[in-house]
Amino acid sequence: MQDILHNKKTWGNWLLVIFLVTIIWLFGIKTPAYSVVVDGKQEFVVENKEEISTALNQIHDEGYGNRVALKLTFVNRAQLVAHENIAAELQLAFEPKVAAAAIVVNGNPVAYLPDRTVAEALLNQWQETNAPLTPGEKLISVGFEEQVEVTECEAPAAKVLAWNDAWNVINLGTEAPQIYNVQPGDSLWTIARANDMYVSDITQTNNLQEDAILDLGQQIILNKPQPVITVIAQVEGTENVPIPYQTNTTNDNSITGIKVKTEGQNGEKYVAYTATKRNGNLESKAVSEEKVLKAAVDRVVVKGSKATYQVASRGGTSSGRLDWPVYGSISQSYSGRHSGIDIAGSTGSAIGAAAGGTVTFAGWQGGYGNFVIINHGNGLVTRYAHLSKIYVGSGDWVNQGQSIGTRGSTGRSTGPHLHFEVLQNGSFRNPINYLN
């Protein structure tokens, strides 16, 4: 083995080194390494010679050493086999080979399949899955960002993968993903939170919808997508896009609260565009034509004096205004189909009680997620939904402005916000009319 690992330095070797150093200088590849050649075929790459000596000693077969040669090379560090995996890789390289087809990405084999037909079918399916079209779109071109090819070869039988395992390698970077079995009370949100993931990571990996109902024992892959092949698609499309109406506000102190004089109506426009998608996600979009189909109608609001209210306090009752429970932009206003206002902002922002009162509910409530209800007395109730954390319990007395939890995105929510509701005598009211 010493003869193998310490080849004589010849002028040919020096010329090879000079050539490789030139390549490094040109292309920025700076990691020296050794290609491991078994029976004349390059198998994998290690960082130093001693790792192969150690691996051969672990295998305990002196005859294997005569089948191994090392060649100096320079590679990206990502191509190096981890120290703890070298013995296993070497053992695989010594096993008898079977006919296979390798999916090669930028010159590196990433997965072996039984034959070319299966490998090409998998690549076609990967391309089709990652180049989805929305209604009104047509595909102009599609291809891989990387240099991808299928080469027929021989490989150890243990390295030849089934379709699903090869798909996981391309999609997740591993053939053995982490699996979680759904337990009672689980939701996509609780699973994502427990595993430091986003719900979108789980839905993308497992091909689920965000409102999917999970079955007990259902297997969920917890690995985040890390595709080794990128699909780039060019599309053309058309769509009808809403033109949001504007809200104009006037003042009239002869009325109380806010009155809507004219309801707003969105307009509509026709848009033609070209777009680039990367693994199904929109990367860029260029509008080539726009045409207004229907003009928007402005919403006209008349603002009067603000109403006060009577609420319970530890000393009896008091009157005043509700405090804003948290600050941020109003991402959705109160309407006949939306029972409160959504105040968008960062996850973890402190939420304060809008007024003093008694907590009548604090816990999980379906689509509301983490939910708090406060009764302020005299028929006035405020409700707080989608909290990331709850700091109070049912029966607690809270003062105005006291922190009751933090803003989040629990339950049926598309992003971090507080859904804030006001009820007067059991009926929903527009919170804007009650807030300072």
Mean pLDDT computed over 10-30: 58
Per-residue model confidence as pLDDT tens digits over 37-71:
888 888 888 888 888 888 888 776 666 667 888 88
Mean pLDDT computed over 163-170: 93
Assigned superfamily of 232-301: Resuscitation-promoting factor rpfb. (2.20.230.10)
| Res. 11: pLDDT tops 80 | no
Tokens 């920025």, residue located? 28
pLDDT confidence of 250, banded at 50, 70, 90?
confident
pLDDT confidence of 400, banded at 50, 70, 90?
confident
pLDDT confidence of 23, banded at 50, 70, 90?
low
The continuous run of DSSP H or E covering 399 comes out as: none
Q: Which residue has the higher pLDDT, 317 or 409?
A: 409
| Res. 315: pLDDT tops 50 | no
Q: How far apart are CA 341 and CA 332, in angstroms?
A: 6
Q: How far apart are CA 366 and CA 387, in angstroms?
A: 12
| Res. 133: pLDDT tops 90 | yes
Which CA distances in Å does 348 have to 166, 189, 324, 366, 412? 40, 16, 16, 20, 18
pLDDT confidence of 4, banded at 50, 70, 90?
very low
Which CA distances in Å does 370 have to 84, 332, 383, 409, 410? 44, 19, 11, 9, 6
Cβ–Cβ under 8 Å, residues 377 and 317: yes
Q: CATH 2.70.70.10 spans which residues of the chain?
A: 306-433
Q: If 0-12 CB within 10 Å is exposed, 13-18 middle and 19+ buried, where does residue 341 land? A: buried
pLDDT of residue 414: 77
| Res. 25: pLDDT tops 60 | no
Per-residue model confidence as pLDDT tens digits over 190-232:
888 788 888 878 888 888 887 778 889 999 989 888 899 999 9
Per-residue model confidence as pLDDT tens digits over 61-105:
666 667 888 888 888 777 888 888 888 888 888 888 899 999 999
The winner for highest mean pLDDT among 185-194, 255-264, 332-341 is 332-341
CA dihedral 278, 284, 286, 290 (to 10 degrees): 90
Task: Return left, alpha or beta for 316; rule: phi > 0 is left, psi -120 to 50 is alpha, else beta.
Answer: left
CATH 3.90.79.10 for domain 306-433: no
Window from 6-20, 237-251, 286-300, 367-381 with minimum mean pLDDT: 6-20
Q: Which residue has the higher pLDDT, 435 or 313?
A: 435
pLDDT of residue 53: 82
The continuous run of DSSP H or E covering 370 comes out as: strand 370-377
Pairing of strands 148-156, 231-243: unpaired
- 0.75 surpassed by pTM: no
Average pLDDT of the residues of the chain: 84
In the numeric block, which tokens belong to residue 371?
Answer: 């939910």
pLDDT of residue 153: 92
Q: Computed from CA positions of residues 385, 390, 396, 401, in that sequence, does the dihedral angle turn out positive or negative? A: negative
Mean pLDDT computed over 124-133: 94
Q: How would you label 216-230 residue by residue, b for 16+ Cβ within 10 Å and e otherwise?
A: eeeebbbbbeebbbe
Mean pLDDT computed over 155-165: 91
Q: Which residue has the higher pLDDT, 431 or 76?
A: 431
Q: CATH 2.20.230.10 spans which residues of the chain?
A: 232-301
Question: What three-state secondary structure class fits 215?
Answer: coil
Architecture of the domain delimited by 179-221: Roll (3.10)
Per-residue model confidence as pLDDT tens digits over 170-183:
998 888 888 999 99
pLDDT confidence of 17, banded at 50, 70, 90?
low
Window from 12-26, 267-281, 325-339 with minimum mean pLDDT: 12-26
Q: Which residue has the higher pLDDT, 249 or 33?
A: 33
Nearest to 91 by CA among 101, 81, 100, 105: 81
CA angle 390-391-396, nearest 5°? 115
Window from 64-68, 78-82, 283-287, 288-292 with minimum mean pLDDT: 64-68
Which CA distances in Å does 396 have to 223, 341, 360? 41, 25, 8
Q: How far apart are CA 260 and CA 256, in angstroms?
A: 12
Task: Return left, alpha or beta for 411; rule: phi > 0 is left, psi -120 to 50 is alpha, else beta.
Answer: left
Name the amino acid, one letter, at 15. Answer: L
pLDDT confidence of 318, banded at 50, 70, 90?
very low
pLDDT of residue 19: 64
pLDDT of residue 329: 83
Query: What is the full DSSP assignment across 302-362?
Result: EEEEPPPEEEEETTEEEEE-BPPSS-SEEEE--BTTBSSEEEE--TT-EEE-SSSEEEEEE
Cβ–Cβ under 8 Å, residues 164 and 175: no
CA angle 218-221-224, nearest 5°? 150
The residues, ordered by sequence, that sit 6+ positions from 68 with a Cβ below 8 Å of its Cβ are: 1, 4, 36, 37, 38, 52, 56, 90
